Amino acid sequence: MDMPELWKKHILPGALGGLVATAFMSAFMGLGKLFGWMGTPPPKQITQNAGRKTDSEPVMRAAWLPAHVGYGVAAGVAYSLVRRFLPPNREAAGLMFGEAFWALNYLGALPLVGLYPAPDDDSKERTIIMIGAHAVYGVALGRTEGFIRETVEIG
């Protein structure tokens, strides 16, 4: 696959799908916060912890939202690249990806590097909200990325 085809079939649909999915995920997390089930949103806490580890806390405190959106966009591109290995149903594929992404980050990478506590060390409510937020992200990503890739002429 040449670079223009890679951009058309994967990078742009995945990035746009990730952007839309991150908006839905953020709204879901906002509801969790509104109802008092969330505390500090994990993207904010993660970037603040990264700032403390790198002596750039003031910068990271201001960068949490762009970092959250950027991570969601990058995950959308990753989804688009692995999409062919997932079930044919868009929603099922997105849901599987979203929950696998939650597990990879919240059960593995983030606690391992000390940026966020493992679910056993976090509140049950916030863990449930984040599992739900990744389900929302995944389903929105699957639907949006598939729609863009199949119906929108890019380039």
Please give the share of the chain, as a percent, with pLDDT higher than 70. 99
Task: Look at residue 154 in the predicted model and tell me its pLDDT.
Answer: 65
Tens of pLDDT, residue by residue over 71-80, are 999 999 999 9
Rounded CA separation 52/50 (Å): 5
Task: Look at residue 8 in the predicted model and tell me its pLDDT.
Answer: 83
Task: Look at residue 31 in the predicted model and tell me its pLDDT.
Answer: 95
Rounded CA separation 38/20 (Å): 22
Q: State which amino acid sits at residue 37.
A: W
Please give the share of the chain, as a percent, with pLDDT higher than 90. 77
Is 116 in contact with 106 (CB distance < 8 Å)?
Answer: yes
Write down the residue that tokens 């603040």 correspond to.
48
Compute φ and ψ for 140, nearest 5 degrees. -65, -40
Q: Give the confidence band of 122 by pLDDT, cuts at 50, 70, 90.
A: very high
CA angle 99, 141, 100 (to 5 degrees): 15
- In this predicted model, which residue has the larger pLDDT, 4 or 100? 100
Task: Look at residue 16 in the predicted model and tell me its pLDDT.
Answer: 97
Q: For residue 18, what are the contacts with CB-CB under 8 A and spacing of at least 6?
A: 72, 73, 74, 75, 76, 77, 79, 141, 145
Q: State which amino acid sits at residue 109.
A: A
- Mark residue 87 as left, alpha or beta (left: phi above 0; alpha: psi -120 to 50; beta: remaining): beta
Write down the residue that tokens 């119906």 correspond to.
151
Q: State which amino acid sits at residue 62.
A: A
Token duo for residue 2: 């040449």
The pLDDT of 100-115, averaged and rounded, is 97
pLDDT of 126 above 90 = yes
Tens of pLDDT, residue by residue over 13-62, are 999 999 999 999 999 999 999 999 988 899 999 999 998 888 887 877 78
Task: Look at residue 155 in the predicted model and tell me its pLDDT.
Answer: 55
Tens of pLDDT, residue by residue over 144-153, are 999 998 887 7
